[in-house]
Chain A
């Protein structure tokens, strides 16, 4: 089945630095990918919708200048957490769907970000 790969699986960074997370669709083209954030013991919260070749659509309350999304190709979307702070520590998960095949959405393995 279709696979979505996320990298890195975990990252520790210093407060004030930026971190980039990659999401790749390995065997299908994804014109749209989704980014979620999950805090401990909570459900996944949609952050933004990433559209290939155009600007991302952010959910209410998500700062677009802090969470930069780039979807430069049909198989890669990146989320950059800029000027990270400890409260940005979370589990970030991407999702993609092969719209041409009308399949279910597939999820990456997730990235555990810890800001110290």
Chain B
């Protein structure tokens, strides 16, 4: 079973920041927080991951709370192409990724 919970859906205006929350209160000390997204009828695409510190790459930023019980994925300037289902996964690297239901993000023009 997935160890994370996410809101089922969110809307975001194009050009605005999209902030996607994720709760992982039972995450283990050796588990990273991974984010993937899936655009309709495609395989999941890796976005970012982190352990304790906040992370940023060309796609997004990841903010992890100090107690590691929750995190937020930030897409700084959402575009229509960011419309997808976003999955937050607690992952230790020696097991397969287990997907929850994710958050369906709709970016609106």
Contacts and interface: CB of A to CB of B under 8 A. Distances in A.
Interface of A: 4, 6, 34, 36, 43-46, 49, 91, 93, 95, 102, 104-110, 112
B101 A112 contact: no
A104 B99 contact: no
B97 A108 contact: no
A83 B72 CA distance: 44
A109 B43 contact: yes
B43 A6 contact: yes
Given A43-B101, A43-B102, A93 B96 contact: no
Contact of B46 (A44, A105, A109, A112): A105
B100 A43 contact: yes
A81 B102 CA distance: 27
A105 B47 CA distance: 11
A4 B43 CA distance: 10
